[in-house]
Each structure stands twice: as C-alpha cells, then as structure tokens.
Amino acid sequence: MKEWFVARHRGLFIRSYLFLAGGLLIAAILLDLGFGAFQSRQARAADPWLVSTFLLLESELAQAQPAERAATAADLSNKLGLDVHFLDAGEIAGLASNDNAPQQLEDDAGHTHYLWRSAALGGAIRLGPFMPPHESLAVRFVPVLFYASILAVVGLWLRPLLRDLSVLTRASQKFASDYREPLDTAAHTTQLTSLATNLDDMSARVSQLIQSQKEMTAALSHEMRTPLARVRFAAAVLEGEVAEALRPQLRAVNADVQQIDNLISDMLDYARLDHPGLRMECVETPLEPWLLHALATSPPHERDVETVRVNDLESAWMEPRLMELALNNLLANALRYAKAKVKVSIASEGGMQRLVVEDDGEGIPEGDRATIFRAFARLDTSRNRKTGGFGLGLAIVARIAALHRGRVVADASPALGGARLALEWPAR
C-alpha cells in the first residue's frame, strides 16, 4: 500500500480522490441542508392522533360535574396509562391562548406537556409530562458513517485504476530505457486490461522492428569488411607498381577505406551494446592499470593528456571492457578538438562514480549539448579528415552510461575552457 501510494502517480490519485470525494460530500451536505431548510419552512400541522385524544378526553370530562372533573381526569389516567390533568380557568390564566390546536409546553426538567383549551369545559386538559425522546449514540453517528462511506467507496473505486496506471507507467518507463524486452502488463492489471494488452502488442512489434534493423545493420557491416579488405590489399599492391604521381591518389583511397572501416567498427560497437545477449558483469576494477591500458589504446596524438584520481581513488565498480570503450570514445572526441591539453579525472562521491574528460578546445554550444549524444549527430557537418568522426562515438558513451544505470552530460570546462564530458553512474 505504501509503495502504491508514494508512486509517481500519487498526484493523479490525490487530485482524483479529492475531486470525487469532495464533490460527493459537498453535494450530500447541500442536499441535507436544503432538505432541512425546506422542512423548517413548512407549517407544522397538529398531530391528528393527539387532537383525537383530546376530543375524546373532552367528551368524557364534559359528562362529569365541574367539581368532579379533576377526579375524573385521574380515573382516566389510570385507565389509559396517560397523565391526564384537568386545569380550571384560573390555572391557565397566564398562558397564551391557542384555540383549536394543542399547545406543546416544556418544563424546567425538559419534560414535554400538551395543553388543550376547551370552552365547553371552561378550562383546559393537560397531558404529560412525557420524557424527551432518547436519541441513541448510533443515530448520532449515522451522518458521520454516511460521509465516511462516501470516502471509502471513492477510495476503493480509484485504487484498482491507480494500481493499473502504476503498472503501465513502470512498464513504459522500463521499455523506454531498454526496448529489448517486450512488455507483459496485461496479466498484472484488472481494470485497464485492454489498454495493457494493446501496449504489450505495440512493444513487441517495436522491439522486433528495432532488433531486425539492428541485426541487418550488423550483418551488412560484417559483410562490407571483406570487400574493403580486398580493396586495401589491391591498393597496397598497386602502390608499389604505379608511377610516383599516382601514389598520392592510392594513399587517399587507402585513407578513405580506413575511414569506412572505422565507421563499420563504430556501427558494430553500437549494435553490440543493444544486443539482447549482452550481459553486464560489473566488478570492482583497480583504476591505475585500467587507466594505463585505456590510454595505451587511445588514438595517436601529440596532446598533453593528464590523468587525475580524485582523493587517490583506488578502484571503481564498473564493467571494465565497456567503460574502457567509453573512455576511448571520450578521449577520441577530446583529442579531435583539443588545442594542446586534455584532462581525464575519475572520482567517487555521494554513492556516484564520475569519469570526466575535459579539453581546451572551442567547447560545445549550450544548445547542442543534448544533441551530441544522439547517433550520427555531428556539430561539424563538413566530415573532413581533419575533424573525422561519424557521430557514433558519443552515442556509444551514452549507451554504456545507460547500461551502468547512469548518464553522460556535457558542459563547459571551468579549468581548461573547452568541453567537459562527464559520465556518472551509481557505485556498487
């Protein structure tokens, strides 16, 4: 119950509950007040049974002599089980007159009396005292129980709906972060089963479509490497046999082939990160040998690369092979645009681990800092050999960050003035 209530949809639950329960409560209260006001405005007619009783008593007392009417009233009290009293004109002289209708009086003890003035008797007949009606405690709580039942019914009605919404919300968020596993929400819903079934079918079709596209891309990439290898071999053979004037063109062809081969490698890496068979095997990795190996496999360069382990951090929880691929792509991006210096730092703080690569280049415009992590997104559209790149390196970094349940962000480097790319992921 606690997990259900504190879920992200609690705002929807609270708004719906307040709207429905509050609306019903206000309607019930207004109807109750309106009905009470309508009743109070109606003139209350005399009880016909009470009038009939007084008429019968008057006829019995009229048969007795005036001096005997008090005694006759006492005899009627014994016979009828009612407190009947006869009052002469002197005893009712101070009371307001209300002819042709019984008067309801109340004494100091809260007892009720009924008075009937009779011109034929020259006095009045009094019934009572009667004890005030006793109102049980249960009757007093009936309105409270009524309003509480409205709140309970609305809550019980909303609960399965909000529970289904919670299931669908969590499932859609899971599918958004990893499309490889289609959803299975229909079996876990009660009220929104039709919507859940449609969502499951849609996720299965989308997952199959993306997987087919990924598999086709990977297959084409593998198949392209064979003819590229033959082209490179033929160019190498021809370079030793052709005239000196044609050798620069052959070297350019070889460079283009190498560029295509690099693109295929990036595409295979990107497709491999989305493969259903990929399994994350994070371990506590010693940082010093891991950094040395990663720097040794980075692209050739002439920049000054500084590595910093904040607070002499000894190890980090990660998948070392994938994180090395991420660092290589971050380094390749920094070395491509740096003027003279690149800085690599890794730290652990507040349960999060952070790998940061900074450079002293021109930096990334603020409006493009979210775009650069999309596949095939490039700020430099010239695609010349100097800048290189195909827009897949940072997309690979973003995917590796997601596999580590983290993220990668871009901003400006306060120390070097260029770009600052930070990969953050939770510790063990």
DSSP state of 188: G
- Classify strands 112-118 and 103-106 as parallel, antiparallel or unpaired: antiparallel
Tokens read off for 368 = 């493009």
Taking the C-alpha atoms of residue 82 and residue 165, their distance in angstroms, rounded to an integer, is: 67
Taking the C-alpha atoms of residue 73 and residue 132, their distance in angstroms, rounded to an integer, is: 23
The one-letter amino acid at 190: T
Tell me the pTM: 0.51
- H/E segment holding residue 345: strand 341-349
Q: Which residues contact 245 (CB under 8 A, 6 or more apart)?
A: none
Taking the C-alpha atoms of residue 305 and residue 343, their distance in angstroms, rounded to an integer, is: 6
Q: Which domains does the chain have, with CATH numbers?
A: 2-42+137-177 (no CATH), 64-130 (no CATH), 193-273 (1.10.287.130), 283-426 (3.30.565.10)
Do 303 and 344 meet the contact criterion of CB atoms below 8 Å apart? Answer: no
Work out the angle at residue 30's Cα, subtended by the Cα atoms of residues 26 and 34, and round it to the nearest 5 degrees.
175
Q: Which residue has the tokens 């259903």?
A: 276
Do 271 and 217 meet the contact criterion of CB atoms below 8 Å apart? Answer: yes
371 burial type by CB count under 10 A (0-12 exposed, 13-18 middle, 19+ buried):
middle
Instruction: Select from 168, 36, 55, 170 the least CA-distant residue to 102.
Output: 55
List the chain pLDDT tens, one digit each, 428 residues.
445 444 455 565 677 667 777 777 777 777 777 666 655 544 444 577 888 888 888 888 888 888 888 888 888 888 888 888 888 877 776 666 665 678 888 877 778 888 888 888 888 888 888 776 665 666 567 677 777 777 777 777 778 887 888 888 888 888 876 777 788 888 888 877 888 888 888 888 887 887 777 777 777 777 777 777 777 777 777 777 777 777 777 777 777 777 777 777 777 777 777 665 667 788 999 999 999 888 887 777 778 888 888 888 889 999 999 899 899 989 988 988 888 899 999 998 888 999 999 999 998 888 888 888 887 776 654 334 455 556 778 888 998 998 888 999 999 999 898 999 999 999 87
Taking the C-alpha atoms of residue 287 and residue 348, their distance in angstroms, rounded to an integer, is: 12
Q: Which residue has the tokens 């109070």?
A: 40
Instruction: Select from 350, 169, 384 the least CA-distant residue to 255.
Output: 384
308: left (phi > 0), else alpha (psi -120 to 50), else beta?
A: beta
Instruction: Select from 243, 329, 262, 336 the least CA-distant residue to 294.
Output: 329
The one-letter amino acid at 40: S
